[in-house]
Amino acid sequence: MSFTGKHITSILTSALLVTASLSLNGCSPDQNIVVKPDDSEPAVTATAVTEAPQITEPVVTEPEKKLPDIGTVRVRPETTEDAKYSSLSDFENCFTVKDGYYQLCFLEDKEFEEKINADIKDAVNRLKTDRGENDYSSDAARSHSKSVIDAGGIMADIIIRNGFLSVMLEYGYYEPYDTELAGSYSNLLKDKNTIYFDYAVTLNYELSTQTKINSISEMFYDDADWNQDITSAVYKEYHGDPSFLPDGEPVLFTLDYVLVPTEDGDYAAVRYNSSDLNLSYCNDMIASHYRSMAGITPLASDINYEMYTQSSIETCSNCGMNYIHLRFDTSRFYSDDELISMNHELETLYDHGFMGREHHECFALRSNYGTVHQYNPESNKRNNGLNLWSYSDKENKVNFFDPYSYERLGIEQVIGWNWRDYASSDDPETPDISTFEPNGFVSVVYKQSEGIVTAQLTGYSPTYQHNMTVTANVPADEVNENYLAG
């Protein structure tokens, strides 16, 4: 198509008129504008169109989380909190078994969690190869643990403490009745008997740095002699007579034990550390000291260590029969001399009716009063705010003894003579406690910040003709101040 000069002039004039009209009259894009040319050409109707500006949103990328280096973790801190450790509030839901493989499900960082789960899958596959034709799935069907059955006979021990994770997977250990997996082998080892495994794989991780641990030395401070530390711990754990010792750097290890090859071609578990006994013998081990796992897992929980362990069975040198005699055995908080002193106090307490020493007469029948838990004043101060000796019996009743005279204390001696003024029934359907006859404590806790001592008591109600529980919130100034932690 060709244009004459007249046509070009007409087009330019029209464009100028449209621009002027939009600028001066503020037309909206929907207004129609009529432009008349200077000759006989028909009128042209134009519609002003305004296109919305294209706005490109900037791409926002999350900054890559920079993790600390494992080297920073291995630097020994100047101070540590050793009365507690960080672990999980719920071990039962920290893992599952999917398609025959154990899978962790407790970490905040799911990408890191998937890497660990991939390692677990590879480890399980190696175990299946190592076992050859030895199939333990039928034994697993009799092991009473659904997880082991679902995993085809492979059992797992999952240990999580102070930022470290250990996973031990193995074939060939017969699982005791109704034993769940997480932490289970650590529990089994506390009887000091040797536990053997046929085929095993261990995996270890430092969780805050998301580092896979390939050498046991990485679990210790960089200035530590880990070999000497472990050897000393093993001798202490097994009272100077261990059946097995690691020869050189162990290939299979966890936070709590190493697996030592035996002459029979299997592995013996040798413990050097523990949380289930609430002890930690290896002072140079990083996981022996408190490191919060908040931010690593939503299940993070701070747990107080028990202050000592106790041995319970003694053998009569005269008749050869076993009898119960609780003694303080080992502790991360007390020296050997302090334990001897505490055991001397225990004997005095036993003479005053403190439970834990079974009356023994050769060849005579002896009553079995069940499990007894004993607590010294320091333990009660930390856990309950009470400066008292105590024990709980087979009925879970708590009994208190004076820390100075070692005499048994009655209810009023512990929580004051006016406790009924602050008491109420725990059951709204049995509110009348006027005739309540207490026969023991369920628990007593001094809440220093609130200035009260909360006691739960059990007893009999003649009004309702059955047992009931009552809770009393007694002002602290009505309780013997000698029995309250400062």
Span 321-343, pLDDT tens digits: 788 889 998 888 888 899 999 99
**Interior angle at CA 467, CA 464 and CA 469, nearest 5:** 105
Residues 72-128 have pLDDT tens digits of 999 999 998 888 899 999 887 899 999 999 999 999 999 999 999 999 999 999 988
Which residue's entry shows tokens 């359907």? 429
Q: In angstroms, how far is the first alpha carbon of the chain from the final one?
A: 104
Do 259 and 335 share a domain, yes or no? no
Question: What total of structural domains would you count in the chain?
Answer: 3
Structure tokens at 220: 């210790």
234 and 108 within one domain: yes
For the segment 303-310, the average pLDDT, to the nearest whole number, is 86
Q: Looking at the structure, tell me whether residues 130 and 229 fall in a common domain.
A: yes
Q: Is 110 helix (H, G, I), strand (E, B) or coil?
A: helix
Q: Is residue 59 part of a domain?
A: no
- pLDDT tens digits for 400-436? 999 999 999 999 999 999 999 999 999 999 999 999 9
* Final residue of a structural domain among 304, 338, 361: 304
Q: What is the DSSP secondary-structure string of 189-231?
A: GGG---EEESEEEEEEEETTTTEE--SGGGGB-TT--HHHHHH
Q: Specify which residues 199 forms β-bridges with.
A: 171
- The residue ranking higher by pLDDT, 25 or 352, is 352
What pLDDT sits at residue 330? Answer: 82
* pTM greater than 0.75: no
Q: Are residues 78 and 118 in the same domain?
A: yes
Q: Determine the longest span between alpha carbons in the chain, in angstroms.
A: 138
Q: Does 62 fall in a domain? A: no
Residues 6+ apart with CB under 8 A from 211: 70, 205, 218
Asked whether residue 101 is domain-assigned, the answer is: yes
Residue 52 falls within a domain, yes or no?
no
> Does residue 349 share a domain with residue 452?
yes
Determine, yes or no, domain membership for 373.
Answer: yes
Q: Which of 274, 304, 334 is the last residue of a domain?
A: 304
Please write the tens of the pLDDT for every residue from 154-194.
Answer: 888 899 999 999 999 988 665 554 555 555 566 666 566 77
Do 406 and 316 fall into the same domain? yes
Are 300 and 317 within one domain?
Answer: no
Helix (H) or strand (E) holding 90: none
Are 296 and 339 contained in the same domain? no
| Whether residue 138 sits in one domain with residue 23 | no
Query: Given this model, what pLDDT does residue 249 score?
Result: 92
Q: Which residues contact 51 (CB under 8 A, 6 or more apart)?
A: none
Q: Are residue 32 and residue 106 in the same domain, yes or no? A: no
* CA-atom Rg of the chain in angstroms: 37
Buried b (16+ CB within 10 A) or exposed e, 96-130: ebeeebbbbebbeeeebbeebbeebbebbeebbee
Q: Are 162 and 291 in contact (CB under 8 A)?
A: yes
Q: Is residue 450 part of a domain?
A: yes
Distances 128 to 135, 184, 202, 261, 266 between C-alpha atoms, Å: 9, 22, 14, 19, 16
Please say if the pLDDT value at position 25 is more than 50. Answer: no
Regarding whether 224 and 350 lie in a shared domain, the answer is no
Nearest CA among 376, 444, 359 for reference residue 410 = 444
> What's the domain range around 417?
310-483
User: Is residue 414 domain-resident?
Assistant: yes
For residue 345, the model assigns a pLDDT of: 96
Buried b (16+ CB within 10 A) or exposed e, 222-241: eebebeebbebbbeebbeee
Which pLDDT band holds residue 10 (cuts at 50, 70, 90)? very low
**Domain for residue 61, yes or no?**
no
In this prediction, residue 474 has a pLDDT band, given cuts at 50, 70 and 90, of very high
Query: Do 36 and 169 fall into the same domain?
Result: no
